[in-house]
Copies of this chain bind each other. A is one copy, B any other.
Amino acid sequence: MTTRSSTDAARVIPEATVARLPVYLRALTALADSGIRTCSSEDLATAAGVNSAKLRKDLSYLGSYGTRGVGYDVDYLRYQIAREIGVTQDWPVVIVGIGNLGHALANYSGFRSRGFRVVALLDAAESVVGQSVAGVVVRPFDHLEEIVREHDVAIGVIATPAVAAQDVADRMVAIGITSILNFAPAVVAVPEGVDVRKVDLSIELQILAYHEQRKANGAEAAATDGGAA
């Protein structure tokens, strides 16, 4: 017999699935916005840009929220995914390093609409501290601890230069932040129990360049090769 409590600890969701759930959430929101109340796995898979079998398998890890022969109720499924991810509540976030990128992040409205609230912008440079960015005053990096305690912040964003990233991460971890999103092109080491995700523009471009080069070489080979055909 399987106990099915709502906080079933045994139910573990594969990492690859977790990474796709936000995509499904977004696709469901788009469907709901166009007034669609029900959709099949095929519809949703198309909207999310994945294969429908994969979608169904992913959703099956959450539970059985569809109806055979009918499909999924858009709002209901959306709520279930949001609950699973944890974005039915609001997550307070701090951003450290208010340079070019930090400004853009501070001005980004997508945070708020997706369950995240920027509670503070921090920077080490005196020239930046005190500036008002997106209606929020930039505070000194030293205030990190105070802010984190006050708002019970668990998620920190690093948008400093690469050299500062490890220091900032260390401070964050020391103060109790357990999830870090790192935009600096640097490997940051953190203790067990702390999650770091990195977003790295250069790496993405280099991956594209690799495939681009392969395409070019392939075309070249084909031209040399198949020219006489």
A: residues with CB less than 8 A from B are 7, 9, 18-19, 21-23, 25-27, 47-49, 84-87, 91, 93, 100-101, 103-105, 107-108, 110-111, 114-116, 154-155, 178-181, 185, 187, 189, 193, 195, 197, 199-213, 215, 217-218, 221
Q: Least Cβ distance of A191 to chain B in Å?
A: 13
Question: Across the interface, do A104 and B100 meet the contact criterion of CB distance under 8 Å?
Answer: yes
Question: Across the interface, do A179 and B217 meet the contact criterion of CB distance under 8 Å?
Answer: no
Q: Least Cβ distance of A81 to chain B in Å?
A: 10
Q: Least Cβ distance of A24 to chain B in Å?
A: 11
A104 and B23 CA atoms in complex are apart in Å by 25
Chain B contacts of A201 at CB under 8 A? Answer: 105, 108, 110-111, 181, 199
Question: Across the interface, do A185 and B100 meet the contact criterion of CB distance under 8 Å?
Answer: no
Question: Across the interface, do B205 and A18 meet the contact criterion of CB distance under 8 Å?
Answer: no
Question: Across the interface, do A212 and B91 meet the contact criterion of CB distance under 8 Å?
Answer: yes
Q: A100-B104, A114-B202, A187-B47 are in contact. Are A208 and B179 (CB under 8 A)?
A: yes
A49 and B196 CA atoms in complex are apart in Å by 12
Question: Across the interface, do A209 and B155 meet the contact criterion of CB distance under 8 Å?
Answer: yes
Q: Which of A48, A197, A201, A217 has the most B CB atoms < 10 Å from its CB?
A: A201
Question: Across the interface, do B181 and A85 meet the contact criterion of CB distance under 8 Å?
Answer: no
Q: A85-B210, A155-B212, A215-B178 are in contact. Are A93 and B205 (CB under 8 A)?
A: yes
Q: A49-B187, A108-B100, A195-B211 are in contact. Are A22 and B114 (CB under 8 A)?
A: no
A205 and B141 CA atoms in complex are apart in Å by 21
Q: A105-B201, A193-B215, A202-B114 are in contact. Are A19 and B181 (CB under 8 A)?
A: no
